Amino acid sequence: MMKKIIFGLFCLLYVQMASAQKDSLAFDEGDNYIYYRVADKPGLSADTLYKRAWDFAGTFNPSVKPAKGQAENTLNTSGKMIVYNGSSLVRKEGGQISYIINIQTKDQRYRYRISNFIFTPYQRDRFGNMVPIPGIEVPLERIAAKYGKKDADSYLDQIGSFCINTAAKLKQFIDKQPLANKTEPVKKISTQNW
């Protein structure tokens, strides 16, 4: 009896977590998927927040250098993530999702948005490796019509989970206090007295 109750609670928690990840993505004014948050950081200036956000963008995806945005204290960076399809035992790479992260800072607050999700499907090459199909890019908003609801829901869950994890990493970078450089006095040896 106790096993059934624990199993039921576990299933309920799992379903709730999966739906929360999908619900984390919203639509913007142009009906595009977006992950958008505003966070307050009392006591920190816009320049400090911008520097920490720049450090985050540089370490989050080292292969892409962050770019300065059009507005003041704004930066953009981009990246790619792999999404999987199939059941948990027989999973394979379904494709890759490219995205853009935009971070803006003001005095004592910052906002970030992860958007412009583009899906590139994968196929097997002659060596059995999964590689992107060249020339096919599908916006995330049209993925359900092109690849089916089951795959689209799976991809949305994975993207939602990725966005939540990225937001946690950004918050950790913003909260982190930079280490003060302690200069130790140089020990000088007197060669005059021996």
pLDDT digits (tens, 9 = 90+) for 36-80: 999 998 888 999 999 999 999 999 888 888 888 888 889 999 999
Picking from 19, 5, 30, the residue whose alpha carbon sits closest to that of residue 139 is: 30
Beta bridge partners of 93: 84
Q: What does the pLDDT read at residue 181?
A: 63
3-state secondary structure 27-38: ECCCCCEEEEEE
Q: How confident is the model at residue 19 (pLDDT cuts 50, 70, 90)?
A: very low
Per the domain annotation, does 125 fall within a domain?
yes
More confident of the two residues 87 and 103:
103
Per the domain annotation, does 37 fall within a domain?
yes
Residue 133 belongs to a domain with what CATH number?
3.30.530.80
Cα distances from 137 to residues 18, 103, 183, in angstroms, run: 26, 25, 52
Per the domain annotation, does 135 fall within a domain?
yes
Q: What does the pLDDT read at residue 178?
A: 61
Instruction: Read off the pLDDT of residues 125-142 as tens digits, 9 standing for 90 and up.
Output: 999 999 999 999 999 999
Expressed as residue numbers, the domain containing 71 is: 23-174
pTM (two decimals): 0.76
Per the domain annotation, does 189 fall within a domain?
no
Q: Report the distance separating Cα 194 and Cα 175, nearest Å.
A: 51
Per the domain annotation, does 86 fall within a domain?
yes
Provide the 3-class DSSP secondary structure of residue 166. Answer: helix
Per the domain annotation, does 156 fall within a domain?
yes
pLDDT tops 80 at residue 23? no
Number of structural domains found in the chain = 1
Question: What percent of the chain is predicted at pLDDT more than 70?
Answer: 84
Secondary structure tally for the chain: helices H, strands E: 4, 8
Question: In whole angstroms, what separates CA 121 from the centre of its chain?
Answer: 20
Per the domain annotation, does 33 fall within a domain?
yes
Per the domain annotation, does 192 fall within a domain?
no
